[in-house]
Chains A and B, each alone.
Chain A
Amino acid sequence: MNAQLTFAPAEASFVELSDISIGYGDKVAVENVGLTIGPGEFVSIIGPSGCGKSTLLHVLAGLLDVRSGSVSCRDEDVTGQVGRHLRAGYVFQDHRLLPWKTVRQNIEIAMRSAHVPKADWNARVERYLALLQVSDHVDAWPMNLSGGQRQRVSIARALAVAPDVVLMDEPFSGLDEVTARTIRVELDRLRVTEAVPTLFVTHSIREALYLSDRVVVFSRGPATVLREVEIDLPRPRDYNDPVLVALERELVDAVLAVWEPTAGQVTSS
């Protein structure tokens, strides 16, 4: 078990972002960032608010183009046409389910658009809803579900489209802590059977360490990569594992020195 902060070794990549810059109008959100996601790897991005973490997800979802740099997938250059080559399952901060469609219909409409064979729909809906403990609500309206249940359905939708990559943008930030912990545990268990390459954006360092194979730390915007940390702990993991707690403290001290230089002493107390 390698339970210390190390720079991640280079490995074969499934998705590779090379030296990319992204911006809106005159504003540069991300500058000269390089990032790889290996096959089946769970990578988390942590960084201060507004540093461009979500912008990076938008590029991989095909919603935004890069200004410079390149994006490749399976060693093929897909810059400017990411959406056509990379099927993404996206879990947003809020659930973004269609309130006028049932849980099943919400997942089916995404599967139809992803060209998942219709014969597989039923099995996939049942499988992912069961894995996320919401199979009893398959015919429910989203507005009749709790926040946690909606987010579980949102995760099930992201997995059901047979994605090349799953993108998660602070999916637990709108949930209460108990619900968030429960879903994190389910997500961790899911990694044992469903190792889809995942890029996960969060503000919670412990959450990132608990779920990830690798954590990428961004600087203040325009974002650059400050460091990458490999988390070589077996799954399923324990959220309160002392190793994770120690790693969290170490990483918090390391990043705060850069993000909030004046607050460096606070965390040590």
Chain B
Amino acid sequence: MRSRRVVPVALALVLGLSIWEWISVASSRWLPGIVEVAVAAVGILDSETLMADLGATIRRVLTVWLATVVVGVAIGVAAGFWWWLRALLRPVLAVALAIPDLVYIIMVVLILGTAESSGLISLVLAIAPLVINVSMNAVLERDIRLDEMSRTYRLNKFDYARSVLWWQIRPALHAATVTAFAFSWKLMVLLEAVTTSTGVGARIMEEFRYLRPAEMIAYALVFTVLMKFAEVAVVDRLFSDRVPGSAAQPRRLQDA
């Protein structure tokens, strides 16, 4: 059974690397080859600035992610229960979800300046609508019959939230949380490339300016591997156990 999973992954890896190498040769090495990128990656891992850059980026990613999840879930759940808030939010969400993320960054920087906090606010504004939308719809899709049962048996608000609502909205909150994390680190690289001189995004931009594509790709790969590891090892595990008593599996928006 294990080989049935390993073989396709190994094949995809070999195929991907082969295509990469072929494009590298075909482009007269404008795209650096695999060995070149590997050498650059070793150099980056040895560099003195890597930890400082990673630390700055991870701190910003965590700040944006936590703020997005807390604000987004709170507003989304509230909107799921209160029609007037929902009526207010729906047109705002329709517009907010359609605006390209880069526009948020540009607009907030124009209004609030280039301080680090401006960038973080812009990312929260860019990602929160997604979390709000998912949370709100999860609450709206809850089983109203269980609400009626809860009212009949006089469940207090805490018991209702913990025993009735939570398990119904949890799969959607899982999807929203994981997706918000993915957006947070991907957009953070973009934000740092555009607005700051520290962090992984700034390093990638710097390597691009100096026309060092191998280093640029190596930085991106190192950071991507680290973030994917964090996503699988930490973020995904926040909701890793199945909903008891059912075979329901958590959904992931980014896999759709």
Task: Enumerate chain A interface residues (CB-CB to B < 8 A).
Answer: 61-63, 83, 88, 90, 92, 94, 96, 98-102, 109-110, 112-114, 141-144, 157, 161
Interface-lining segment among B53-61, B94-102, B193-201, B243-251: B243-251
Give the residues in chain B near A101, CB-CB below 8 Å. Answer: 163, 244-245
Residue from the list A88, A90, A98, A143 in contact with B164, Cβ < 8 A: A98
* Contact flag A63-B146 (CB < 8 Å), given A109-B159, A112-B159, A113-B156: no
B112 at the interface (CB under 8 A from A): no
Q: Which of B145, B152, B245 contacts A94 (CB 8 A)?
A: B145
CB distance from A54 to the nearest CB of B (A): 11
Is B163 a contact of A61 with CB atoms below 8 Å? no
Q: Given the complex of chains A and B, what is the CA–CA distance between A63 and B151 in angstroms?
A: 7
B167 at the interface (CB under 8 A from A): yes
Chain B residues within an 8 Å CB radius of A92: 145, 148-149
Q: Shortest distance in angstroms between B100's beta carbon and chain A's nearest beta carbon?
A: 39
Question: Which 4 A-B pairs rank lowest in CB-CB distance, beginning with the nearest?
Answer: A141-B245, A96-B149, A100-B167, A90-B152
Q: How far is the CA of A62 from the CA of B146 in the complex (A)?
A: 16
Q: Is the interface of B mostly helix, strand, loop or mixed?
A: helix
Assuming the contacts A83-B154, A109-B163, asked whether A99 and B149 have C-beta atoms less than 8 A apart, the reply is no
Query: B148, B149, B244: which contacts A100 (Cβ < 8 A)?
Result: B244
B83 at the A interface (CB under 8 A) = no
Give B145's nearest chain A residue, CB to CB.
Answer: A96
What is the interface of chain A mostly: helix, strand, loop, or mixed?
A: loop
Distance between Cα atoms of A157 and B155 in the complex (Å): 14
For this complex, 29 residue pairs linking A to B, each with C-beta atoms less than 8 Å apart, are A61-B152, A63-B151, A63-B152, A92-B149, A94-B145, A96-B146, A96-B148, A98-B167, A99-B167, A99-B243, A99-B245, A99-B246, A100-B167, A100-B243, A100-B245, A100-B246, A101-B163, A109-B159, A110-B153, A112-B159, A113-B153, A113-B155, A141-B244, A141-B245, A142-B245, A143-B246, A144-B245, A157-B153, A161-B153
Task: List residues 128-185 of chain B with CB under 8 A from any CB of chain A.
Answer: 145-146, 148-149, 151-156, 159, 163-164, 167
Chain B residue at smallest Cβ distance from A111? B153
- The answer for the CA separation of A112 and B154 in the assembled complex, in Å, is 10
Bound Cα distance from A102 to B244, whole angstroms: 9
Q: Are A98 and B163 in contact (CB under 8 A)?
A: yes
In the complex, which residues of chain A have a beta carbon less than 8 angstroms from the beta carbon of B164? Answer: 98
Given contacts A98-B146, A109-B159, contact A114 B153 (CB under 8 A): yes
Cα(A61)–Cα(B149), bound, Å: 10
B residues in contact with A100, CB < 8 Å: 167, 243-246
Which residue of A is nearest B153, CB measured? Answer: A110
Please judge, given known A-B contacts A63-B148, A143-B245, whether A114 and B163 are in contact too, CB under 8 Å: no
B245 proximity list for chain A (CB < 8 A):
99-102, 141-144
Given the known interface contacts A100-B167, A100-B243, the answer about A114 and B152 at a Cβ–Cβ threshold of 8 Å is no
CB distance from B163 to the nearest CB of A (A): 6
What's the nearest-Cβ distance from chain A to residue B233, in Å?
A: 26
A141 to B, closest residue via Cβ: B245
Shortest CB distance A98–B (Å): 6
A88-B163 in contact (CB<8A): no
